Structures are given as structure tokens and as C-alpha cells.
Amino acid sequence: MAARKVLNMLTKRRKEILDFIQKYKLRYGNIPTIREICEHFGLKSTNGVYEHLKALEKGGYIEITANKARNIIIKDNFEKNNILPIIGEVAAGEPIYPIVTEGDKLAVPLNTDSSFVLKVKGDSMINAGIKSGDMIVVDTQKPVNNKDIVVALLDGEVTLKRLVISDNKIELHPENENYNIIKIDKKEFKIIGKVTFLIRKF
Amino acid sequence: MAARKVLNMLTKRRKEILDFIQKYKLRYGNIPTIREICEHFGLKSTNGVYEHLKALEKGGYIEITANKARNIIIKDNFEKNNILPIIGEVAAGEPIYPIVTEGDKLAVPLNTDSSFVLKVKGDSMINAGIKSGDMIVVDTQKPVNNKDIVVALLDGEVTLKRLVISDNKIELHPENENYNIIKIDKKEFKIIGKVTFLIRKF
DNA sequence: TTGACAACTGAACATTTGTTCAGTAAAATT
DNA sequence: AATTTTACTGAACAAATGTTCAGTTGTCAA
């Protein structure tokens, strides 16, 4: 018998399921199983949810890896009504900020192959507006220029400083009067990456 | 026969495995299976990895939900460095940081019904680490408390200040010596919302 | 040198989880 | 009114995945 026909339409129920998967992932950092979705909606058969997932996949909302547990990839098909109003300073037309919202999240694009996230500890960069507890995105591939804020490895320690190159000298500048400039000479030194984003939660 | 004894030590191999799980999750937003870990390290038996995971659990580095696919929770107890690696996850029970990676984006959760994004202009909040050009997320529904940083409407102007309430007086404090405290008396005044996130692009 | 442990192999077993098939009822569409 | 589609139930099957058991080898410390 031919497979049951499934249309691409994003029905109310399917949106509910899509939302639930997003929220579950947000909370547990993991994709729910089909049976967990069933349980959440009080459904008794996995096939109900399974068909919804197939429909969501056909509609391009998600991607399912066959026969793999918890293997749904949520696609980014940002629609215009999901974009948050950016008001105030930003003029229309002007290339704004690479920030888009997806469902109930605000997202910044980054290269996951070369980026990672660090939590800042300490106040050596306080005058650059980087506080202890802030989250920074570090890109290990982006070219690093003079005056960039970088994450470096110094004598086995990871530090966050501003890179200053002048007259063949390399220095790491803290942005806090209580800290000293670090001059790179024979020390073991490596730039891990350039800071590309900062995110702070209040 | 008694179960094989497993000590808590974080050996080199176990740290490699822990690192791999973190990176996998950062990249795919998902936990790898034991067999995927085996494959990555070129191992032929799942039990090798399984014992390492059990050891990591005993050491308090991870938490494993029995008999569940891809159900490792990475605990957040790495210290010592200035900086710690953040895994895109929220630990069960205790939410650490609501930041998750999804595909090639880094996302923070927010209520799109009640939030909007503003671009900061001016340096009146510089000592709070908020610089001109930063993007802030403002939630109009969240309860506003004393000492919160808020966006307020004052005589038709939108301002970003810290709300300070004391002895029946309401004040808006800038965080910059060059600006004056604003005392709210008979002025037209309205709190638009509380600042929940700050995002800066470098 | 003996014992404890790390770090595996190999094979099986148990459980979870994804998938398919057959059917029902209500709502929407034609 | 007939057809299509949504939205399910219920049962079974198959694949993926977690778990256990029995053994091997090398290293390191007592």
C-alpha cells in the first residue's frame, strides 16, 4: 500500500509540537523522543506524533535522521513576523545587526566549526565593558588584527586581553588600571582566537 | 560477580572523552551515542567508553540517565582558569545559563511577545559595562525590581538607566560620573521594561 | 612480584526508540 | 455528498543504543 499522503501545512498542532521540541531542547539541551512528545501532549500512540514530524520535515521545518534516537534538527526558516522590532537608533535599510529571532530565541550567527563560548571570570577587561560573568564567543579562524580583543594562551593560562602590536613588539593589554601590560618575548604564547560576540544576562 | 571497581580519577583519556562530548554537543546541539564516541576514538567495543562514562559520572563530571539514548548531562564544575568552557546546555533542575547553540547560531531564550531590541546610543551607562552601539533586549512584562537596569520614558525621551528606589523616592541613576541622577517627581515618567540581555558585536 | 587499575576487545542481552501497518472519527475541502 | 486531510489509537516490528559479563594487556605502585 502506498504511504499515506502528508501535506506540508503547518497546522496548529504541528506548530505546538515544533514549539515543544524547541523548548525541550532549550531546557535539557537535547531533543525529545517521540514517546516523550506523546506523553507531553497526552497521546497514546507514537504514530500520531510520527506523522506530524514527517509533515514538519516535508514542510522544511525540521530535518530527521532516519533510525536515529533524538535526531531532529530544527531548521532556521525565519519568517518576517518572528523578527523582533528593532527600534530607536537603527535606521531602516541600514544593515543592522546579524541578529534574528527563532521562535522564542534571539540568535547571533556564528561559525560553529571554529567558534566556542567562554564565560569570563575576572575584571581585567572592565574598561572595555567586559565584566565577570559575561559570555563571549571566540572564533579561532577569523584573522586577528592589531587592537582586537583576543583570547590567548600564556604559560598554560587562558587570558582575555587586547592585542597590541607596535614596532615588532607584541603586547597584551588589560583594560583595567590595576593590571599590568603583558609583554610577549620568550614566553610560551598562543592566540586562541578573536572575540566576536559578547552576551550578558541580567 | 561484583561489578568491576571504577575509580573517580579524571585520566587523560576520560578528559578527552569529556571534551569530545562537549564539542559534539556544541556542534550538533545533541549528545553523541556511546558508539559514536567509540567511532571517534577508533575503539571497537562500546564497553570501553561505557566504563569511562561511568567513571566520569562517579567523579561528578557528568550525569547519566539510565537506559536513555543520548542522555548525558555535563556538569558545570570546572574552575581554576580565568575562563571556563560553557556547554550549550541547561543542567537538569538548575538552569545555569540559558544559552544554546542551534546549528550555526548562538541563541538566548526570550519572550517574543513582550520583548524588543534596542541599540544603545550614548555612554551614560558605561560603568555598568554598557557601551554605545550595544544591543539590549528589553522585556516589557518582567517585574522590575530596585537596582534593575531599565528603559524608561521621561518627558517623551527614551533613556537607559538604573532604577533606584529608596524612602519613597524614585531615581534613575546613570553609571557615569559626567551624568546626573534623575529624580522622579512630577515629570512624565514610565518604565518601558527591564533589560534582560546585552549583545555586543566586535 | 603481586595487585590494583586503566584501557581496552568481543559477545551477548535489554531497553529504548524509530518505523510501519491497519484502522477510526471529525473537520475541512471539493 | 464524496473526498481529502488532520489527528489520532493500537499493535507490531526493526534499528539503535545502553548495559552487562568475561576476558586481555600494559603500567604503576606497594
10-residue mean pLDDT profile of chain A (202 residues): values are 56 85 73 91 92 87 88 59 30 30 49 64 87 80 85 73 83 89 75 84 84
Beta strand A86-88 with A72-74 is unpaired
Distance B46 CA to C8 C1' (A): 10
Residue A109 DSSP class: E
Residue A85 vs residues A145, B157, B190: alpha-carbon distances, Å: 33, 18, 20
Please give the positions of A annotated as active site.
124, 161
Amino acid at position B88, single letter: G
Residues 92-121 of A with CB under 8 A from B: 97-113, 115-121
pLDDT class for B91, splitting at 50, 70, 90?
A: very low
B53 vs A166, more confident: B53
Which grid coordinates are listed for A159?
587570558
In angstroms, rounded to a whole number, what is the distance separating the alpha carbons of residues A98 and A194? 18
Q: Is B124 a catalytic residue?
A: yes
What pLDDT, on the 0 to 100 scale, is given for residue B149?
93
- Return positions of chain D under 7 A from a protein CB: 4-12, 15-23
| Residues in contact with strand D, defined as Cβ under 7 Å from any of its atoms | A 4-7, 9, 11-14, 38, 41, 43-48, 51-52, 55, 67-69, 71; B 1, 3-4, 33-36, 46-47, 50, 53, 64, 66-71
Instruction: Identify the burial level of B103 via C-beta atoms within 10 angstroms of its C-beta, where 0-12 means exposed, 13-18 middle and 19 or more buried.
Output: middle
Contacts of A186 (CB under 8 A, 6+ apart): none
Query: Is the per-residue pLDDT at B40 higher than 60?
Result: yes
- The Cα–Cα gap between A72 and A81 comes to 24
Residue B36 pLDDT more than 70? Answer: yes
Q: What are phi and psi of B27, to 5 degrees?
A: -85, -45
Q: Name the band, by pLDDT with cuts 50, 70 and 90, for residue B162.
A: very high
Average pLDDT of span B64-81: 69
Partners of B193 in beta bridges = B151
Nearest in space to B122 (alpha carbons), one of B132, B136, B113, B112: B132
Pairing of strands B100-102, B83-85: unpaired
CA-angle at A154, arms to A151 and A159, nearest 5°: 35
- The C1' atom of C6 and the CA atom of A194 lie apart, in whole Å, by 38
Considering only A19-23, B91-95, B125-129, which range has the smallest mean pLDDT? B91-95
pLDDT given for residue A184 in this prediction: 82
Provide, rounded to the nearest whole percent, the portion of chain B with pLDDT above 70. Answer: 71
State whether A102 and B104 contact (CB < 8 Å).
no
Model confidence at B98: pLDDT above 60: no
pTM: 0.52
Which residue places its CA closest to the C1' of nucleotide D9?
Answer: A45
Contact between A17 and A41 under an 8 Å Cβ cutoff? The reply is yes
B149 near B162, Cβ under 8 Å?
yes
Instruction: Tell me whether residues B83 and A118 touch, CB distance under 8 A.
Output: yes
Cell triple for residue B39? 567511532
CA of B36: nearest nucleotide by C1' is D17
Q: What is the C-alpha to C-alpha distance for residues A144 and A190, in angstroms, rounded to an integer?
A: 12
B-facing residues of A in 35-94 (CB < 8 A) are 69-71, 73-76, 82, 84-90
In this prediction, residue A38 carries a pLDDT of 93
Residue B54: which H helix or E strand, with range?
helix B46-58
Is the Cβ pair B86, A119 closer than 8 Å? yes
What pLDDT does B139 receive? 78
Minimal C-alpha gap between A132 and chain B (Å): 9
Mean pLDDT of B39-59: 90
> How far lies B56's CA from each of A63, A102, B17, B33, in Å?
32, 34, 9, 15
In the numeric block, which cell numbers belong to residue A14? 504541528
Q: Which nucleotides of C are covered by protein (CB under 7 A)?
A: 4-12, 15-22
